Every structure is written in structure tokens, then in C-alpha cells.
């Protein structure tokens, strides 16, 4: 039973984007539970403490969840009741005792191209310098444009755009590639030059979705959080995560996946991709099935990609 004076503590990272996502979650919760109090608590992850470090290097030191472990620990220590995450940051194997209890209505999962001179992707100069720290994005960019110079780019959304605008000399960037959802939530959509189609760039698994994670034995909070779950978005990301699980990949492997329910919410289409980091090989496959068969379909799609040669690309 939830009393009207209950205080629910929401944990989030402290970046502009993370705080924007936490506010979206709190607004949704407050609408459903107007008499409850929700408080946002910021917690720094190892990925935030060293914003210039290499993702893979951090993962090798930290293990899985460079952006999630601090929030996981805060949940398990009962310092917070709910953790807000970009769902694509969550490892497939959740920390023991924690679960994704709700997924908010998903923002557009596509990636976007932000050019310094407002030049489209196809029209970018030969040898253009493009910033991204995503191996998935880098691989797909190189597949289409082998001439591009891909350079690592870390930092939050506004930091990356600032580096694009202010870069000079050898460090000058011509463009950056980021998730459209993050750019929108940071209030910087006006910076977008072009939105990639799935044909051009297949998104990351879970991209555009906000996840609410709680302790599995916290039945009181569970009842509150479930009220803001968006079933269609939750179903789509579960199918995508099933594909990623079967492929055995994580955020440092060039794997992509996008699931979409039909208008009736009864049929789901899943497209998956596996790419070589150098951009020379691109494997894609697509299947459609009733929603209730979404996860088995994801397993079949993963097997198709592996048979096509994905097992060699994934090493």
C-alpha cells in the first residue's frame, strides 16, 4: 500500500541528457501518482568521472555497465528506489536482484548526422573527419563511405556538438553522428543536419528508450512504476535485446537491431545487422512474426546472421 506522503527517490547520472530523461520519467510518474513525492538524486558513474577515456578501456577495467554500475549499487544499497537509464546502456545480463520494470514511450530510435557546415552525409567532402565513439556507427559509416576519417569522440551531447563547432587545426571535425533521441531530449534538435534511415544506419539495440530499473523485491515501488510502462515500446526493446543476447554481443561490437510493431500491436518486424569494424562487411537480415513469437523470432534472426558469416565478424 502506497501512502500519499511516500517519497520515491529517482537516481540518474548528472549529465544534461540524463537529467532530461529523469525529468521525463518523473513527469510521467507524477501524472499517474499526483499525491506522491518524487525526488531526483544524481550519481556519477565511472564513465562520467573520466569523460575523455576510451569506452573499451573503461570496460576492460570496470567490467560490464560502465554507465550503470554506480546506479545499480545505489539501488542495492537502498539509497534510491528507481534508476533511470538510456536502455541501450543496460547490459543484457542485469545485475542480480534488479529488473527493468518499465520502459517509457520510445523516442525516434534513429541516428542523426550533424555537420559543421550543414552539408548532408552524401555531400560531405572526400576524407571528411567524423566524430563518434560507437563502433556500430563507425562500421556503417565506413561501409558506405570508406573515404571518411572516423575519430573517437566522447562527452555528453552538448559537449560533442561544442567540439564540432569549436575544433581547430588537426582536431577539426566536419561532422558528428549521434542518437537523434538524445539530441532532441537535450533540446538541440536544431543542430541536426540529417536523420539517417534504417537503410543508411541501423540503430543500436534499445536506442531511444528510457528504462526504469528497480529492486525485484520492492513490491511497493513495482506497483508505482508499472503504471508508466509503455507496453509497445517495452515489447520492441525486449525483442531487440533477445537478438543481442543470441548474437553474444555488447556495446563494443558492431551489432545493430531495430524492432517495430505494426499499428495493431500484433505483429513485430525485426531487422538486425552485424558489421566488421573496418566497414568492409555488412550483414543484414529481417523477419516478421506475431508479437507473442517475438523472442523466438529474434533467435532465428540471430542464427541467420551467424550463418551468413556473423560468427566470423563477431570473433
What span, in angstroms and rounded, lies between the C-alpha atoms of 274 and 31? 40
Exactly one of 72, 89, 111, 218 is catalytic; name it.
89
CA dihedral (235, 94, 60, 18) positive or negative = positive
Q: Is 89 a catalytic residue?
A: yes
Asked whether the beta carbons of 72 and 90 are under 8 A apart, the reply is no
Burial letters 193-232, b for 16+ CB under 10 A, else e: bbebebebbbbbbbbbbbbbbbbeebeebeebbeebbbeb
For residue 7, the cross-strand partners are 37
* Cell numbers describing residue 308: 551468413
The catalytic site residues sit at 89
Amino acid at each position: 500500500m502506497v501512502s500519499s506522503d511516500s517519497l520515491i527517490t529517482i537516481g540518474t547520472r548528472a549529465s544534461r541528457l540524463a537529467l532530461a530523461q529523469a525529468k521525463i520519467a518523473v513527469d510521467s510518474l507524477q501524472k499517474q501518482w499526483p499525491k506522491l513525492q518524487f525526488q531526483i538524486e544524481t550519481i556519477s558513474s565511472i564513465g562520467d568521472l573520466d569523460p575523455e577515456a576510451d569506452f573499451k578501456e573503461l570496460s576492460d577495467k570496470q567490467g560490464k555497465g560502465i554507465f550503470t554500475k554506480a546506479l545499480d549499487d545505489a539501488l542495492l544499497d537502498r539509497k534510491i528506489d528507481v534508476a533511470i537509464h538510456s536502455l541501450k546502456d543496460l547490459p543484457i545480463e542485469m545485475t542480480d536482484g534488479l529488473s527493468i520494470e518499465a520502459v517509457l514511450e520510445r523516442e525516434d530510435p534513429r541516428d542523426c548526422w550533424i555537420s559543421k557546415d550543414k552539408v548532408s552525409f552524401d555531400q560531405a567532402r572526400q576524407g571528411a573527419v567524423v566524430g563518434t565513439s560507437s563502433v556500430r556507427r563507425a562500421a556503417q559509416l565506413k561501409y558506405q563511405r570508406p573515404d571518411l576519417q572516423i575519430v573517437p569522440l566522447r562527452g555528453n551531447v552538448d559537449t560533442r556538438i561544442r567540439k564540432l563547432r569549436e575544433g581547430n587545426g588537426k582536431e577539426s571535425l566536419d561532422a558528428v553522428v549521434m542518437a537523434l533521441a538524445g539530441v532532441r531530449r537535450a533540446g538541440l534538435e536544431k543542430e541536426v543536419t540529417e536523420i539517417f534511415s534504417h537503410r543508411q544506419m541501423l540503430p543500436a539495440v534499445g536506442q531511444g528508450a528510457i528504462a526504469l530499473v528497480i529492486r525485484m523485491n520492492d513490491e511497493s515501488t513495482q506497483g508505482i512504476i508499472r503504471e508508466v510502462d509503455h507496453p509497445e515500446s517495452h515489447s520492441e526493446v525486449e525483442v531487440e535485446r533477445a537478438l543481442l543476447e543470441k548474437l553474444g554481443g555488447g556495446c563494443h561490437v558492431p551489432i545493430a537491431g531495430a524492432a517495430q510493431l505494426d499499428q495493431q500491436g500484433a505483429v513485430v518486424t525485426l531487422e538486425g545487422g552485424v558489421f566488421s569494424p573496418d566497414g568492409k562487411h555488412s550483414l543484414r537480415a529481417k523477419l516478421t512474426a506475431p508479437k507473442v513469437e517475438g523472442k523466438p523470432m529474434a533467435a532465428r534472426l540471430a542464427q541467420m546472421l551467424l550463418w551468413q558469416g556473423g560468427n566470423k565478424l563477431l570473433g
